[in-house]
Structure 1
Amino acid sequence: MKTILIPVDFSKESEQALTVGASIAKRISAKLVLTHMTEFDDVSLTHEPVDTMTKRIYYSKLTSKRFDEFLDKDFLENIIVEPVLQNHIDFKSISTMAEEISADMIIMGSNGSKGISEITTGSNTEKVVRNSSVPLLVVKKNGIHFSSENVLFVSDFKEESVDAFKRISIVAKMLNAKMDFLYINLPGKSFKSTKQMDETLFAFFKKAEHPDPVAAIKMVNRYADFSIEEGINNYSHLSSADIIAIPTHGRKGLSHLLHGSISEDVANHSMKPVLTVKI
């Protein structure tokens, strides 16, 4: 049985993720594993062990009740749902948990992150994007009705992205979705001639063990724009893409501040669902 992991905080964004997860689970006969992280900090509470235990029991019961209320939805009928309570807050651990339970994908709701918070801390969803080697689907609470008929894979098609491409292809196949391909050609030093793009694409599909790399090259849409994010947004509005799929390097620390992350920006700002996987 397929497994879908959904981190929840009982917000509207979590409910949107649950709605999408239920829709997918019904189509592929998957179970949903919902995880909620408590706000207890073992270090800060060690001075009062008895009081800590009382608080943990109380919070566990309260969370259990919130889970019951959160899961009291008609669209979850006939779907296996497993709630899991974690006694720590660490969004990096979501990826670890996904691997431990052999999750096929993670689904998270997001309302994006803006302004200074986007530069310094980012959203909880971003933290999972940076660390997850399991495909992560980011959906927005105010997004259009979810559909997964067409997945648009966006990449620079460097050979380092092949493994991420294979994992995204597995998800697309699982969703019974058609995959389209997009290469954004940028001005300046990043510009590539048609011949250079063909060489890059051929090497990529050959490494990906595509049965016909030459034919695969012809399937890639080439779009010119001033930035990757602008190109993705502009092209996706013209295409029939339901989901934008993009690999990520998972940059952290100073590297993230200096160079940013295209996948995080797209996940933050795109109204369409975004599927990411760490390179």
Structure 2
Amino acid sequence: MKKILVPVDFSKYSEYALEVASKIAKQHGAGIVLLHMIGVSDSVLANSEIAEEAEAKYYLNQAKEKIKQYTEKEYMKEIPLEAIIQNYKDFKEVNTVAQEQHCDLVVMGSHGTSGFSDLFVGSNTEKVVRSSELPVLVIKKQQRDFTINKMVLACDLKKENIPIYKKAETFAALFSASLEIVYVNASGGNFMGRDNVEKRIELFKKELNKEINVNLYDHYSVERGILDYCFKKGADLLVIPTHGRKGLSHFVVGSLAENVSNHAELPVMTIKL
């Protein structure tokens, strides 16, 4: 791993993400790219009127000062660091910056519903997840002792998830962590008999051409079953595939039942199919 991109909005959640990114960077000798998107309208940037020009400079200077405060954090010492302040038009630009900077991972903070709460509108974590070609590690609370010993990949065991497993396996090796797959068999229209599930498991192993640990977990809800399984197994990181359509919200939105909502604060890595 050479570079980690950390989009920041200067909220406590983006600082949680930066602290985790710093720990990963130190473990693997990687650098960090800080990205802040100021969101000043094109009319302000293009207009030469004194008041509007002053407004643009104000936002830019504020961002530079806050970026500087981040770089001076104790946990950022001895980490190669670059800072990019960019006026955003579309959240796909996060992926563009990640590609241009040759990053290997995006680490970002989210409070679970609207992501970058202070500056942007909507579920922006989800927008980044949808568009990112890189794995995205989502951090939802402060991780003072961030370690990954056990990773759980939740998927439906279809052939398209083979590359997802291989990428997750690469990250597991990077963190010296164990990796297991869980298939949640939810009650309802998509419920499958155990024999059919076991056939799907065997087909997945055959396509992968490797003997792996796959667990079947019966639950009334796929989303809640995934989180419940991770809690019972003591998982440090949940990995889920995304098609670039449903993104993250399908699994970890704040509307989950109270009995598993605390466990939804588990770090989540999304990998695009």
How would you bin the TM-score normalised by the shorter chain? Answer: 0.7 to 0.9
Q: How much does 1:75 deviate?
A: 1.1
CA spacing shift, 1:12–1:267, aligned 2, 3 Å: farther
Which amino acid in 1 is paired with 2:271?
V
Q: CA separation in 2, counterparts of 1:93 and 1:206?
A: 38
Range moving further from structure 2, 266-275 or 150-159: 266-275
Q: How much does 1:110 deviate?
A: 1.0
Aligned-residue CA RMSD (Å): 2.7
Q: How much does 1:266 deviate?
A: 8.3
**2:271 is the alignment partner of 1:277:** yes
Render the CA deviation track for 1:48-104: whole Å, top value 9, x for unaligned: 466555544443333211111122111111111111111224322212222222211
**2:214 is the alignment partner of 1:220:** yes
Q: After TM superposition, list the pairs within 5 Å mapping 1:189-228 onto structure 2.
A: 189-208=189-208, 210=209, 212=210, 215-216=211-212, 219-228=213-222
CA spacing shift, 1:89–1:263, aligned 2, 3 Å: farther
Aligned residues: percent identity? 36
Q: CA separation in 1, counterparts of 2:202 and 2:76?
A: 44
**2:59 is the alignment partner of 1:71:** no
Q: CA separation in 1, counterparts of 2:54 and 2:23?
A: 38
Q: CA separation in 1, counterparts of 2:56 and 2:76?
A: 28
- SS of the aligned residue for 1:90 comes to coil
**2:92 is the alignment partner of 1:98:** no
Range moving further from structure 2, 38-47 or 59-68: 38-47
* Alignment partner, residue 29 of structure 1: 29
Q: How much does 1:112 deviate?
A: 1.2
Render the CA deviation track for 1:128-179: whole Å, top value 9, x for unaligned: 1222221101111256742211111010011122222222222222222211
Q: CA separation in 2, counterparts of 1:47 and 1:205?
A: 60
Q: CA separation in 2, counterparts of 1:266 and 1:135?
A: 22
* Alignment partner, residue 228 of structure 2: 234
Q: After TM superposition, list the pairs within 5 Å mapping 1:38-187 onto structure 2.
A: 38-43=38-43, 46-48=46-48, 52-113=52-113, 122-142=122-142, 145-187=145-187
Which amino acid in 2 is paired with 1:112?
G
* Alignment partner, residue 253 of structure 2: 265
Which consecutive residues of structure 1, in runs of 5 or more, have no partner in the other structure? Answer: none
**So what's the TM-score if we normalise by structure 2?**
0.85
Number of matched pairs: 262
CA spacing shift, 1:9–1:134, aligned 2, 3 Å: same
Q: CA separation in 2, counterparts of 1:143 and 1:230?
A: 22
Which amino acid in 2 is paired with 1:60?
L
